[in-house]
Amino acid sequence: MTLNFERSNPMKIQPVLMPAVKRIALVAHDNRKNEMIDWANWNRPILAQHMLCATGTTGSLLETEVGLDVTRFRSGPLGGDQQIGAGITEGHIDFVVFFWDPLESHSHDVDVKALLRIAAVYNIPIACNRSSADFMVTSPLMAGEYVRLAFDYESVVSPAEEAGVRL
């Protein structure tokens, strides 16, 4: 299915299949790590059915404290948030649970903002607190395949490309 809104938007909308086994990224700032562990323990039966990845310390805690299999990236300030963002753009992450601390200043705030932005750009479900995470993982949509609609950014031609400039 390709929807094309020629008048208002030249970008095409593409269906993207999320498999029944979702690829979920888990991130928690330091002040929210205990909450993430509590939440993961509470939702362990659901999370264990999916493929999980996480930033460094969060992933380590999920393995040792909750007993989940987790692919670990670098810690957030050392590029982990960017690795998750890259995973979204490459189609390797379907869902993000990011218990971020909006009241605390972080050295990598720009990375946090970029991750939140890229999730929105690619229409990736993202839960930023325990309540939204609970609603999302217990949704009937988690149990099966789901088709999310996302802009086909590959179809967008940049002004440089239109002018014949090769980068």
80 pLDDT higher than 90 = no
| pLDDT score of 47 | 97
In the chain, count H helices and then E strands: 7, 8
CATH code for the domain of 90:
3.40.50.1380
For residues 77 and 149, state if they share a domain.
no
Percent of the chain with pLDDT over 90: 62
Which listed residue (69, 81, 109, 152) is catalytic? Answer: 81
pLDDT in tens, 4-16: 444 455 567 889 9
pLDDT in tens, 106-127: 566 677 888 999 999 999 999 9
Residue 127 CA to residue 132 CA, distance in Å, equals: 5
For residues 67 and 12, state if they share a domain.
no
For residues 70 and 55, state if they share a domain.
yes
For residues 103 and 137, state if they share a domain.
yes
For residues 42 and 105, state if they share a domain.
yes
More confident residue, 76 or 24: 24
For residues 159 and 124, state if they share a domain.
no
Integer angstrom CA distances of residue 129 from 16, 21, 97, 133: 25, 22, 8, 6
Residue 110 CA to residue 121 CA, distance in Å, equals: 16
Q: Give yes or no: 69 in active site.
A: no
For residues 112 and 57, state if they share a domain.
yes
Residue-range definition of the domain harbouring residue 67: 20-144
pLDDT in tens, 133-160: 999 999 999 999 999 988 776 665 556 5
For residues 81 and 128, state if they share a domain.
yes
Low-confidence winner among 67-71, 73-77, 100-104, 138-142 (lowest mean pLDDT):
100-104
For residues 4 and 79, state if they share a domain.
no
For residues 61 and 100, state if they share a domain.
yes
For residues 60 and 83, state if they share a domain.
yes
| pLDDT score of 156 | 58
Residue from 121, 132, 64 nearest 98 by CA: 132
Residue with tokens 């700032």: 29
50 pLDDT higher than 70 = yes
Contact, 147 vs 15, CB < 8 A? yes
For residues 121 and 164, state if they share a domain.
no
Total count of domains within the chain: 2
